[in-house]
A and B are shown apart, each in its own frame.
Chain A
Amino acid sequence: MSFYFAIVGTKDNPIYEAEFGTSKQGGDGVARFREEQRSMNQFIVHSSLDIVEEVQWATPTMYMKCVDKFNNLQVSCFLTAGNIKFLLLHDQKADDAIRQFFTDVYDLYTKTLMNPFYEVDMRITSGVFDGKVKQAAKKYL
């Protein structure tokens, strides 16, 4: 089970991307995407924004669970208050684990936002952020 995680800014621009595999059931936490799947992942995540934009008005919570499907791949979404979308591409249903993961990443993102040198929609290049997201992924997914 592999995951592709993207934080998408307000202008459909990715501000952070990561790939990781599952750490449950003896997984080593390394994503196993074939090369052509990489572009497909981004296409799927990008196209699911259509659904997010629709669902966001009808869902009271920030976590919208699984919003879109493509073949056997699912996209879960978490929408922050500042219209930043956390999108996770996964192939098995795991609502609760993903919710906890998103909550942790929201924490991290909020802290990044507090950085006076960071502006909304800027790409997040911080190694610390990356490490912590990976940690959260390892913990929950």
Chain B
Amino acid sequence: MSSAFPSLRTRPTLPAVGVSRATSVYLRSSSIAPVHSSVTSLNSLFNQASLSSPRSPEDEDCKGLVCRAFVPYVAVHVSDDTNELAREKGFVDFKDMLRPYGESIQGRITIRDSQGISTMHDDYGVRFVSLTDVAGSGEKWESGASRAMNGSSEKAAGSGSRVFQGGSVEEVEDLVNLHMERAEELNETSLPSDGDTTAFNQSFYMLYLRRILSALPLSPHETFSHPVACVIAISSRNANPIDSLRNLYNSGNHLPLPDYLSTDYLRYYVLVHDEDRDDIKKSTLLFDQMKKHFGLHCHLLRLRSGGASVISDDDAVVVPKSQWISAAEELHEIRSRDYDDEQPTTCLPDSDATGIQTMVREMTQVSVIPFMERCIATWNDQVASRRRGISGRFLSMSKRYFSASSSRNSTSSSSNYDALNQSYPPSSPEAQMRKLADYAFMVRDWRLAHSIYELLRTDFNNDKAWKYHAGAQEMAAISLILTGTGLTSKVRADTIAPMLDLSCYSYLSRCSATYHALRCLLVAVELLRIRGGGAADEAATWAIRARDMNAQGTIGHALITERVGACYTIREGIGSGAWGARKRKAAMWKMLAAGEWLEVAKLAQSRRCLDTALPMYESSRFLHVHGFMEHLKQQAGYTPLLVDLQDGRGRRGREKGEEDDSDEEEGVEIQSETLHTGLKRKSLIVGREVDREVENEAGSGLDRFVDS
């Protein structure tokens, strides 16, 4: 889990790889958030976002999570000998070897936005996908929810591995369920987090969200998962390298890619040099030749040959786990790990790991990002400005009024929308603009992205291209929230709310794309939530909407219920009475979530929810509330021992609530205060059991009292 939160980790500074731009001082504000500042500006009394609300690092990371979910996809198309080389090192193929290093690129990536202002991002990444997988996974329009139905995901690729793709809510849920069951056995309430204690609270929800955003399914209406570039690699083992490069180029072009996929992506040529087996001089010569042919977009990757290295080797480094694999793939991985225990962690020699890191970094900084910047500039000049200009407006207007007389369903010449395939051809201005907006989004130029999405949503609406329309609405709303400025309650109510609403409606009722609708809502919830204040309220409203959508199963339902509570928790009150805080609402939703966890027999989760909810209700004089609480406590086997010791607020409330409890319970409570390690805590389990029995009796006694 730890590598998922780069803000918590000190990154080793990069051994300079020819990027002098990244040398200026850059203060990472995101990691130095005020932990608990009580400063609340007066003018933001209730409705405005108060920026000084206390946030855990994880909350801070939600925006990063969303940003890192939408990064360029880079296809990988390599010769067999290159795959062979990777296989010898213990990977499935070359893509598998690159992938973990693409997810978080070392050092900062400089991106120039449309205004010419450079910004630096140190949590940038790219996703490597296999080009053959992309070709095999073109989403059929109708099966919006999951492509697994039409069987193409079973398509064997190369070594008999499946093509894994995200976009299935059920699989995500299966995965979270699996993780949760494992954790339940250990009586843990969060993912095993590699000793990273800060990743404690919402980690199951974060896993859920991350898997929802992982491996975005290929679809015509959005181009995030369309490859931006393609790595074409050969190895020095190849007998006639130039020929095989040409073959790769041709075969890449002739793969049966879906029609809506534009093929004018960047090609990046990599020569993998086998250090031990081949002569570096020969490789250098070949590489010079490649440079002459293909220009700048080349890289010489020097790898050690030989078998898989093991952890005991001197210079071996463990290959990081891929954080953004699809739920299906992770499920597959876990299950295959269950069958045979002996699956050693893959390691690489230190020099290899550095080499791959450097390659990925250089490719991104020198080739991919400038390529995207150029595309954005070109399309912005040629396509978008024409549409924005007076003639473009006139054109779209005349299209609207004249085509109204003719039959609107037919693919009339005035519209580029192909109603039969329900997609735009990649050369049409609409498709290009969508691509422009997505590129702008991926290089985090929210403002430009937003303005293009704004244009597009009216176009798509006129063409009745509903899924495109829903997608443009979704991204318009999200990019507007990410813009971050001027997000007043009025803007939220008048602009963002209708956009999200329309997007959900289009996704759900017109395209039955539940996955996309859910993704849209959850992303909006997270982004609104971290703004705090009134936006957090709206986040809760949207979370409730997602909860009522019934797109998800019981696990997802419970997770989202809990998240509603979390949305309310983040809202801060004003003054001594904390007026305007949502502590009661948060407690109620946590309570509901505790009930839902009980129904799916996740006791540890339920207890955790009760932990946060109980301080509010412990002293409640509402009889039914009290009865309900006691019932839950009894069912979940809740004892005050399972205290989250870090949660000082909860502890205080609990102590207050327990003043009139029996003496022996207080004794246990005092003991629990001194417990700081899980080890000691477990030694008390026996005591806890006894305690639970006592409590059960008390609880049933209270139930009787309530019933009478």
Contact = CB atoms under 8 A, between A and B. Distances in A.
B579 A42 contact: no
A46 B587 CA distance: 10
Given A47-B587, A50-B584, A54-B46, A42 B577 contact: no
Contacts of B587: 47
Interface in B385-427: none
A53 interface: yes
A13 B588 contact: no
A124 to B, nearest CB: 13
Contacts of A50: 568, 580-585
Contacts of B32: none
Q: How large is the interface on A (under 10, 10 to 19, 20 to 34, 35 or more residues)?
A: 10 to 19
B549 to A, nearest CB: 14
Interface in A30-70: 38-39, 41-44, 46-47, 49-50, 53-54, 57-58
Contacts of A53: 577, 579-580
B588 A47 contact: yes
Contacts of B588: 43-44, 46-47
B580 A46 contact: no
Interface residues of B, number: 22
Contact of A49 (B584, B623, B625): B584
B583 A14 contact: no
Contacts of B293: none
A141 B189 CA distance: 47
A54 B625 CA distance: 23
A12 interface: yes
Contacts of A14: 621-622
B621 A46 contact: no
A39 B628 contact: yes
Contacts of A13: 621
Contacts of A58: 46
Contacts of B581: 50
Count chain A CB atoms within 10 A of each CB in B583, B587, B588 and give the residue with the most: B588
Nearest to B621: A13
B624 interface: yes
Nearest to A53: B579
Contacts of A39: 624-625, 627-628
Contacts of B620: 12, 46
Nearest to A35: B624
Contacts, number: 48
A58 B47 CA distance: 11
Contacts of B577: 53
Contacts of B524: none
B591 interface: yes
A46 B584 contact: yes
Contacts of A47: 584-585, 587-588
Interface string B622-634: 1111011000000
A46 B628 CA distance: 14
Interface string B567-587: 010000000010111111101
Interface string A1-44: 00000000000111000000000000000000000001101111
Nearest to B617: A46
A83 to B, nearest CB: 11
B544 to A, nearest CB: 9
A43 B582 contact: no
Contacts of B621: 12-14
Count chain B CB atoms within 10 A of each CB in A42, A43, A58 and give the residue with the most: A43
Contacts of B568: 50
Contacts of B625: 39, 42-43, 46
Interface string B589-633: 001100000000000000000000000000011111101100000
Interface in A69-118: none
B579 A57 contact: yes
Nearest to B541: A69
A46 B616 CA distance: 10
A23 B435 CA distance: 60
A41 B624 contact: yes
Nearest to A9: B621
A64 to B, nearest CB: 14
A57 B47 CA distance: 13
A54 B579 contact: yes
14 contacts: A12-B584, A12-B621, A38-B624, A42-B622, A42-B623, A43-B592, A43-B625, A43-B628, A47-B584, A47-B588, A49-B584, A53-B579, A54-B580, A57-B579
Interface of A: 12-14, 38-39, 41-44, 46-47, 49-50, 53-54, 57-58
Interface of B: 46, 568, 577, 579-585, 587-588, 591-592, 620-625, 627-628
Q: Which 9 A-B pairs have the closest CB atoms?
A: A39-B624, A39-B628, A47-B588, A42-B622, A54-B580, A13-B621, A47-B585, A47-B584, A42-B625
Given A14-B622, A39-B624, A54-B46, 7 more contacts: A39-B627, A46-B588, A47-B588, A49-B584, A50-B585, A53-B577, A57-B46
